Each structure stands twice: as structure tokens, then as C-alpha cells.
Amino acid sequence: DEIREWINAGYTNFEELKRILRVGMGPCQGRGCRDIILRELSKATGKPIAELLPGVIRPPVKPVKARLLAEDNE
């Protein structure tokens, strides 16, 4: 709902929404949410998804192995 509110307020590209709401910056790095958001943007703007800018997905600065995150470092 929050994403739709921002789209209705005039924010009609992925990069704008990413900067405001931090979409695409979670654990999935946009692989899960980007397509959903682009569909919502397509509905709101009437533009086909192919015409929308998909946004830039950047991996974390330094890759970290999952096992290191899972270890108890105390």
C-alpha cells in the first residue's frame, strides 16, 4: 500500500522509489520485489514494463559468505 501511495503521489520510476522507500535494497537486492514494483508502475502510468527504467541493482559493497553471518561471533 505504501508503494502505491508514493506512485499515486507522482513518483513513477524505480530509482525514485528506491531512494525514498529503499525498495530493492533488502536481502533479495531487488530480485524479488523489482518485478512487482515495475508491474505496479506499469499499471499506474499505462506504460509497458519494457518502457520503464528497471533501476540499477547494486550488490553489497563487499560480498560476505552466509556462513560468516550465521556464526556466533561472541
Kindly report whether the global pTM for this prediction surpasses the value 0.85: no
In order of 8, 10, 23, 70, the CA distances from 2 in angstroms are: 10, 13, 11, 32
- Higher pLDDT, residue 15 or 54: 15
CA angle in degrees (0–180, nearest 5) for 55-65-34: 20
User: Is the pLDDT at 6 greater than 70, yes or no?
Assistant: yes
Q: How far is CA 10 from the centre of its chain?
A: 17
Per residue in 26-36, pLDDT (tens digit) is: 877 777 888 88
More confident residue, 59 or 43: 43
Given phi > 0 = left and psi -120 to 50 = alpha, else beta, which region is 21? Answer: alpha
Residues 3, 23 contacting (CB under 8 angstroms): yes
Ordered by start, the domain boundaries in the chain are: 2-70
